[in-house]
Amino acid sequence: MRKLAKNNWDYAEPGILYWDHINDYNLLSEYIKNGDFEYAGVNPCAEEPLPAGGSCLLGAINLSEYVEQEFTEYAWFDYEVFRKDVKIAVRALNEVLDEGLELHPLEMQRNTVGDWRQIGLGIMGFADALIKMGISYGSKDSLELIDEIGITLNEAGLEASAELAEEFGSFEYCDTDMIIDSSFMAHIGNDHVLELISNFGLRNSQLFTIAPTGSISTMLGVSGGVEPLFDVEYTRTTKS
C-alpha cells in the first residue's frame, strides 16, 4: 500500500478501485443483487463506473464560490444557493444527455445511455473553500463541512431527478421500490425527497461522481475534486 501511495503521489499512477464497494453502494444495488444490472467497468479516467455501452457525462460545481465573508472568522457556506445550483446542474446535464443521445456512434451506446441515463455531478474547489473559511484540511471541522455539503448535494440532486421524472418520465428500468431500498438511499433521511422518488421515480440511474476535475479546475484556477493543495506552486505542461 505504501508503494502504491508513493507512486501515485509521484506519477498519478496507479489508481485503485474498490470494486466490491462500487457494486454494494449505489442507487442500483438491488438491481445488482437480483442480476438485473452490472457495471462493466469505468470510463478511461476511472471517474465513473458504467454498464456496457455506458457513457460518462460529468459536471462539477466550484465549492469555493459558496463561501461568504471569506478570510474572516465569521465565514460561512451558503447551502441555500448551493442547493439551488445543484438542481440547475442536474437539469443541465440531462439536457446535454438528450442533445447528444443520437450522436453516440454505436447502437449499444445509444440504448444504454437512453435506458439508464447516467450522469455524474460532482464538486471541485473544496481546498479553496477551506482556505477561505480558515479551516485546516482533514480537521474535524473540515470533515463536518464536507459531510454536510455531500448530504445537500445528494438530496438536491435526487430531488431534481425526481422532478424531471415527473415532467418527462423516469429512466426506462426505474423501479421505485428497488431504488428506495438501495444501499445508497439508506442515508437519505429527507422525507420530501423519499416521497418524490416513491411517486415519480428518478430520471437518472446514476447522479453523482466526485471526479478529480484536473482540467476544468486548472482552467478555473481552483483545487481539484475534494483533494488538498499538494504544493504552493507547480508547473503543468500540456502537449497537443
Residue 43 is among the residues annotated as catalytic for this protein = yes
CA neighbor of 207 nearest in space, from 124, 117, 127, 130: 117
Instruction: Out of 45, 80, 111, 195, pick the active-site residue.
Output: 45
CB 60 within 8 A of CB 219: no
Return d(Cα 48, Cα 210) in angstroms, integer: 9
Helical axes 191-200 vs 140-168, angle rounded to 10°? 30
The verdict on whether 174 is a catalytic residue reads no
47 is catalytic: yes
**Active-site residue among 30, 47, 48, 159?**
47
Dist. CA 152–CA 156, nearest whole Å: 6
Which residue is catalytic, options 26, 30, 43, 159?
43
C-beta neighbour count of 200 within 10 angstroms: 19
Q: Which residue's entry shows cell 508503494?
A: 3
Q: Which residues contact 47 (CB under 8 A, 6 or more apart)?
A: 56, 58, 120, 209, 211, 212
Q: Reduce the DSSP state of residue 58 to 3 states and report it.
A: strand
Catalytic positions, written as ranges: 43, 45, 47
